[in-house]
A and B are shown apart, each in its own frame.
Chain A
């Protein structure tokens, strides 16, 4: 009996051939094309995502936020997908977004035409729910300053990608910048995300928080009072720095004019922090260096008297004049009280050039103070070998030397801190999100550098107190507090006439309070005040008094003097 007919054999053969072809095809797909197919599928299913984590916050000493980052949306158009531009325009207009025709013609057929930046999440979600074809959303962190136009030069700015460009933002960029979050997403057939390859706690990837030594309230007081004077005198520049002399921490730093974070910065010069970058001839405030050097070297004594040449001193063909014509001799204290240039020259002449030069350097002039901000300048001081017979006398009263405001403040802080220099700083602490401290400046600030003896510092403090009590600094008096300080009215050098101007001045006042164990050292500089009475005593000293009074009361510094009723 025949088991299979020919027809059945043929059918089985065809089926076997079919399966064989299927098998070959499968072999081809699974083995030979495996790598290629796998790559295509992976590309369709997975999506690599690189995201910036949140930039760290900048906080003041009391934990108030000064700069923070918030995720916001950028809305963009994809001109290749857009079908109904008018509908898109109409809907976006409802949410306050206006599409500029110019932008569309400018980008023409690009797939990314940004039309609105910093759109908050609610509006972005409402627009998204409209399912507009050709409208896309991009998320990025943007920097915000809750206080607005405040502490601008210190905080600095960032670029659109969140990298610091100026100030603290640049100096501490590596701490503020968080890690990049790299994840792989798996998508379904509709493109919806099924899962991530790993769950990332984004808060742990954030940048570190930078805590400043600046106090928001003190900064506000300084900015407010300085701005009043800046506007009143229509000044070219105005600077104020407040420091705690005990540890070197800067409590406030203002440079005017300043800029607004929310406006586009057209003039880059405005980013310059004059308090550390610009130099000026200090004038009489520099006299403390001359006296400190002479006292410390034992060249003069507190009880010494000096002849003031009736207000006119001839120096190698030049005449140095004082505002006061005083006959006979005067005490060291009186020289400071009336701010006599002749008296200071006489003191300086007791020093050898090299000794005076060394003390100028010891006080930190013509070198960086080391403040943790970008752009510090070291000032101008002529090399000792080029000093002529006029250099020492003129520098002794603050002409012929250019210093930065932070250097001048540091010099006064040395006196306030009993002769010891403490490096000024702005960043006190850096903390991780979990509050773990990465860096604390106070660990490095314990030791200081002795510049002058304790005794010298005490004498200078006493002299400076007399300046405020009965000298040129009377307007710097603060009710209830003892104040020590010095005025400085310096003529500005006119580069056109190659001589000192009789029209333009830089006036300053630097002082400390309370005199015994000072808690604050404050420097106020007004550049080119437009006023008939341009003297520091009339322009800078009252600003100092206002700032000092409000700051001392805010800090609750104990009053050490009877109030003047």
Chain B
């Protein structure tokens, strides 16, 4: 009787382990999928920010800002070469 009881317990435990493993793998898969989505979103945002930085530093834009503020290109005589 004791043996049968142990066998039943073992079978139930095995089933539970199997179910737990299946459940956990699905939960992790959801987590990984969410993280992947987040990662993709952040890399898109990163690319957009890089683009924004480069657009802000566009020479045409900087030149027009400098022009608006009355800045001038330095004359050759005003440039000092250090070596």
The residues of A with any CB-CB pair to B shorter than 8 Å are 54, 64-65, 68-71, 120-121, 144, 146-150, 186, 192-196, 199, 202-203, 216-217, 220, 224, 479-480, 549-550, 553, 556, 558-559, 563
Contact = CB atoms under 8 A, between A and B. Distances in A.
Contacts of A549: 76
7 contacts: A65-B54, A68-B51, A147-B58, A149-B60, A196-B33, A203-B43, A563-B76
Interface stretch (B4-12, B13-21, B24-32): B24-32
Interface residues of B, number: 27
Nearest to B60: A148
Q: List the 5 closest pairs (A to B, CB-CB), nearest first.
A: A195-B29, A146-B54, A220-B59, A146-B55, A71-B44
Most buried by B among A146, A216, A553: A146
A68 B49 CA distance: 12
A65 B58 contact: no
A186 B29 contact: yes
Contacts of A144: 51
B50 interface: yes
Interface of B: 26, 29-30, 32-33, 36, 40-41, 43-45, 47-48, 50-51, 54-55, 57-60, 63, 73, 76-77, 79, 81
A194 B33 contact: yes
Contacts of B58: 146-148, 150
A423 B44 CA distance: 39
A480 B29 CA distance: 69
Dominant secondary structure of chain A at its interface with chain B: mixed
Nearest to A219: B59
Contacts of A70: 44, 47-48, 51
Nearest to B25: A195
Contacts of A553: 76, 79
A68 B76 contact: no
Nearest to A144: B51
Dominant secondary structure of chain B at its interface with chain A: helix
B63 to A, nearest CB: 8
Contacts of B77: 563
A122 to B, nearest CB: 9
Nearest to A556: B81
A558 B82 CA distance: 11
Contact of B76 (A54, A64, A65, A480): A480
B46 to A, nearest CB: 10
Contacts of B59: 147, 150, 216-217, 220
A194 B29 contact: yes
Nearest to A221: B59
Most buried by A among B40, B47, B50, B57: B47
Contact of B43 (A120, A202, A479): A202
Contacts of B55: 146, 148
A334 B44 CA distance: 64
A479 B32 contact: no
Contacts of B32: 195, 199
Given A54-B47, A194-B26, 16 more contacts: A68-B47, A70-B47, A71-B47, A146-B58, A147-B60, A148-B55, A150-B60, A195-B29, A195-B33, A199-B36, A217-B59, A220-B59, A220-B60, A480-B76, A553-B79, A558-B81
A193 B36 CA distance: 11
A193 B48 contact: no
Contacts of A71: 44, 47
Contacts of A563: 76-77
A408 to B, nearest CB: 27
A199 B37 CA distance: 12
A199 B55 CA distance: 33
Contacts of A199: 32, 36
A18 B30 CA distance: 41
Nearest to B53: A146
A149 B55 CA distance: 12
